[in-house]
Every structure is written in C-alpha cells, then in structure tokens.
C-alpha cells in the first residue's frame, strides 16, 4: 500500500486527485489532505511515514516552497502545477517530478510507477526555490540630473525616451523639458530594462508607454507617434524592425 498526502487548496482538485489515485493499478491510500502552507506543515510533521506527497505550488496562504524553508521534507514530492513553461523548465533542471494540471490519469500513473520502480532522487529544494525567486534587477531604475542649482530626480516610469543630438544625450520625461545627461546612447541602452525600453535607431531609445501610434512607413518601416512629441519623424530603423515587432508583443 502506497501512503500519500495531498497538499492542494482547491476542494474540487483535492477530490479529483484522490479519485484518480484510488483508480490506479497500484494500491494508494490518501492518509491526509491539507489546503495551506500552515496546515501542510502540521500534516507533514504528523505523517512522516508517508511514501509520497502530491503538492500544489500555489496554496491559499502562499507558495508551497515556504514549507521547505520551515521544515525538512523527507518524503518524495510530486508537484502539481498550472504554471507556465518557465516553471516547467525549472522543475526539469532540478530533477523534480511534476504533473501539469489538469492532471491526466496516464501522467499520474507514470509518476507513481516511477516512484515504485526507482523512488525519487533527493531534491535540492534550496536550488529549486532559488529558481523561482526573481533575481534582483541589475537594470538602472533612477536618474538624478543637475539642472542649474537643482537636482531633478527621475524613475524609469518618469521617462518617455532618450535621444542623441550631436555629442549630447538627452533624457525626455513624460512631463517637463528635456535634460542633458552624461554618456552615450549605446551606453544608456546597456543599462536599461529591455522590456521597458527599445532603441529604435541610432538616435532614439523609446519607452513602451510613450508610443501613441504605430503606422506603416513605406514598405519596410514603422513611423511612430510618441508623447511627448519629437521634432522629427520617428522611424524604426529597417535593421531593427524584426526585434521591434518582438518587443511590442512581449
């Protein structure tokens, strides 16, 4: 008899997983069910003898990864998840068993068969948690620019675009006049969040929110209407069109 725990916060999903387990060719007994991080900790501590744990990632009071930071989990774990492909890659890299929701009987059978035949390898849960923890952004988020006797401060959200003119680099805020800043357009581009900013030409780096309109220009370019307005026609370079289209659709 395989003894199992179910850690899942949706009652329907709890019942369906228990039904699927009971229908397997192996004899599986669900000894307890928990629907939160707090309850899971109590249940796991009380049932150290279980053979396998089926654990949803998103629970009612947080991520199930919090469990591993608070107690030692010695039983093999199979995660159940509706997460995206990024999460699935993280599971695979860390040699973690997972079932993608909605759970199919064949996939569940394969997971239990794997446990019976080989048992799960010990998982480095610290490494897994790190894979799901967003890295601290290394992109520039603040600018302090001296204008006369004052120091003007800008965040990423305050900036519409940057442009180069002769040997000067300008920061154009959403409101107020442009200000001169140090550096080159290329140097600036290397420090900016590529999801928020895009260099459309040798002269301009624009933010996504500043774009008001995108129109075809000729057979192979876009003309953009930006706010605040720019004194010249704003064109996306032909060589950057493909990347620009991908950026718009991120």
According to CATH, the topology of domain 2-132 is: Rossmann fold (3.40.50)
Tell me the pLDDT band of 90, cut-offs 50, 70 and 90: low
Place of tokens 């009071």: 61
**DSSP string covering 46-75, please?**
HTTT-SEEEEESEETTEETHHHHHHS---S
142-248: what CATH class? mainly beta
Query: pLDDT tens for residues 31-89?
Result: 999 999 999 999 999 999 999 999 988 888 888 888 988 898 888 888 888 765 556 66
Instruction: Return the closest-CA partner of residue 70 out of 44, 96, 90.
Output: 44
**pTM, whole model, 2 decimals?**
0.52
> Apex CA 137: angle with CA 70 and CA 162, to 5°?
160
Domain ranges for the chain: 2-132, 142-248
The answer to whether 56 and 17 have CB atoms below 8 angstroms apart is no
166 vs 147: CA distance, rounded Å: 20
List, for residues 128-153, the tens digit of each pLDDT value: 766 666 555 678 889 999 888 889 99
The Cβ of residue 42 has, within 10 Å, a number of other Cβ atoms equal to 13
Q: How far is CA 109 from CA 31, 53, 92, in A?
A: 19, 14, 19
Write down the pLDDT at residue 111.
87
pLDDT value, residue 125? 67
- List pLDDT tens digits, range 166-205: 889 999 999 999 999 998 998 898 899 999 999 999 999 9
């Amino acid at each position: 008899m395989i003894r199992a725990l179910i850690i899942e916060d949706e009652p329907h999903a709890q019942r369906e997983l228990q039904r699927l387990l009971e229908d397997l060719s192996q004899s599986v007994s669900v000894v307890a069910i928990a629907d939160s991080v707090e309850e899971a900790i109590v249940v796991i501590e009380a049932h150290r003898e279980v053979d396998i744990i089926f654990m949803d990632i998103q629970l009612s009071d947080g991520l199930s990864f919090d469990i591993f930071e608070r107690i030692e989990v010695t039983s093999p774990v199979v995660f159940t998840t509706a997460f995206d492909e990024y999460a699935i890659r993280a599971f695979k890299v860390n040699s973690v068993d997972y079932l993608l929701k909605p759970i199919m009987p064949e996939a569940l059978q394969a997971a239990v068969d794997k446990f019976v035949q080989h048992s799960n390898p010990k998982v480095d849960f610290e490494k897994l948690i790190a894979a799901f923890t967003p890295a601290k952004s290394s992109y520039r988020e603040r600018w302090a620019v001296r204008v006369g006797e004052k120091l003007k401060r800008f965040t990423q959200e305050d900036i519409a675009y940057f442009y180069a003119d002769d040997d000067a680099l300008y920061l154009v805020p959403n409101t107020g006049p442009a200000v001169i800043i140090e550096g080159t357009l290329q140097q600036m581009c290397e420090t900016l969040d590529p999801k928020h900013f895009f260099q459309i030409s040798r002269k301009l780096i624009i933010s996504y929110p500043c774009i008001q309109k995108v129109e075809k220009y000729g057979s192979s370019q876009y003309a953009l209407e930006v706010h605040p307005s720019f004194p010249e026609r704003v064109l996306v370079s032909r060589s950057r069109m493909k990347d620009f289209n991908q950026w718009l659709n991120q």
